[in-house]
Amino acid sequence: MKLPIIKHLSQFIEERDEDFVVETIETLENLSELSSLKDEELDVIGELISNMYGALEVQKMMREDGLSQKDAVKKFMDRVLGSIDK
């Protein structure tokens, strides 16, 4: 996961609509089922998907918890890092 990408996508969602990102995730997930993809290509698709899910989660925290983008990103990354440590 890359914070600059999550922040950028979060801003995109805020300015437009999260449906664009959800539909892109669905498209990439479907594309990842293609058997002819190389491992490197799957890694890139997986990284994009995880960043998009991260941005959706950040937007959800901003909307539901009233957090600023900065605080929502920090809380999200703390949660991600906490799950890795376990």
Predicted confidence at residue 40, as pLDDT, reads 97
What is the chain's mean pLDDT, rounded?
A: 93
pTM exceeding the 0.75 threshold for the entire prediction:
yes
| Torsion sign over Cα 70, 75, 78, 84 | negative
Predicted confidence at residue 83, as pLDDT, reads 78
- DSSP string over 14-68: HHS-HHHHHHHHHHHHHHTT-TT--HHHHHHHHHHHHHHHHHHHHHHHHHHH---
Per-residue pLDDT tens over the stretch 42-82: 999 999 999 999 999 999 999 999 999 999 999 999 888 87
Predicted confidence at residue 86, as pLDDT, reads 60
